[in-house]
Amino acid sequence: MSVYPLVSTLQAYVDASARFLPRDDSLAARRAAFTEACRYFTPPAPAHLLIDDQRQGALQVRLYRPAGAAPQGGWPTVLYLHGGGWNMGGHDTHDWFAFALAKRLPIALVAVDYRLAPEYPYPAPLEDALDVWHHLRDGHWPDLSRERLAVAGDSAGGTLAAGLCVALRERGLPQPCLQALVYPVLSARPHFPSMHAHACAPMLTTAGLMASLAGYVPDEIRQRDPQALALEQVSAAGLAPAFIGVAQWDPLFDQGRAYVALLQQAGVPAQLHIGEGLVHASLRASGVAGVERFYDAIAAALRAALL
């Protein structure tokens, strides 16, 4: 039983998640267990949603869009980057995020099956995200908007979403209409109070976080690169407006808050949503009241930016 006072529905999710143990300590076994757990918690797809797997060069992408004719100018679109510690996850693990937004908004989502660490550490996953972003901007999908574009990601995907905005700024390219970051990893530095206060929180421990970071940014040069970890930048000027959602009982709680402050200090509109009573990876727990409020907040920010 968790020492955190989780509501019963969230505690049930945490307990159920613990049943999906890898058969051994290998990365392959951990990836398989993660995929099995994510599939277990994925609800049925909304009836009106079309899902299409496509190859974009060497990358696989999954396109989610409403049934019916696209509006003039194409569907407003979110480039979605999945979580999983940069070393797990893909199209079989994160449908639930797209489904939750598709129930709330008439938008399309394009999910990127980016290369995973440690086989492909930074910058490979970010390069994959940028590649698909450029295809969106170039009008590769005629029924998707080239202008009404946002980027979103949870956990490790939030890292990549933030990094994409930094990379676009450094290249002098237009920003997304919004960056929506859900309990993102934004620094490898251990000084944040929540990394100590919630070091043993359910679903993500500080030790587990640092182990995943070691695979994604395996040396100090990469750990200090603002395109890898966005809190390393001195100024956030010129970045996209942001929605940043954090979970109350998460080692990453203070990283999200710090990034909101950095953005606001640079004059960038940034909204903070605190998922009261939630832990890391809570958004897989559909139906939990606090989780549904979190999704409502993400959807409201995307609606204001895209619709």
Residues marked active site are found at 155
Beta bridge pairs of residue 63: 52, 110
Q: Give the distance from CA 47 to its chain's centroid.
A: 24
Based on its alpha-carbon atoms, the radius of gyration of the chain, rounded to whole angstroms, reads: 18
CB-CB contact of 184 with 256 (8 Å) = yes
How many CB atoms within 10 Å of residue 25?
A: 7
Assign 3-class secondary structure to the chain. CCCCCCCHHHHHHHHHHCCCCCCCCCHHHHHHHHHHHHHHCCCCCCCCEEEEEEEECCEEEEEEEECCCCCCCCEEEEEEECCCCCCCCCCCCCHHHHHHHHCCCCCEEEEECCCCCCCCCCCHHHHHHHHHHHHHHCCCCCCEEEEEEEEEEECHHHHHHHHHHHHHHHCCCCCCCCEEEECCCCCCCCCCHHHHHCCCCCCCCHHHHHHHHHHHCCCHHHHCCCCCCHHHCCCCCCCCCEEEEEEEECCCHHHHHHHHHHHHHCCCCEEEEEEEEEECCHHHCCCCHHHHHHHHHHHHHHHHHHC
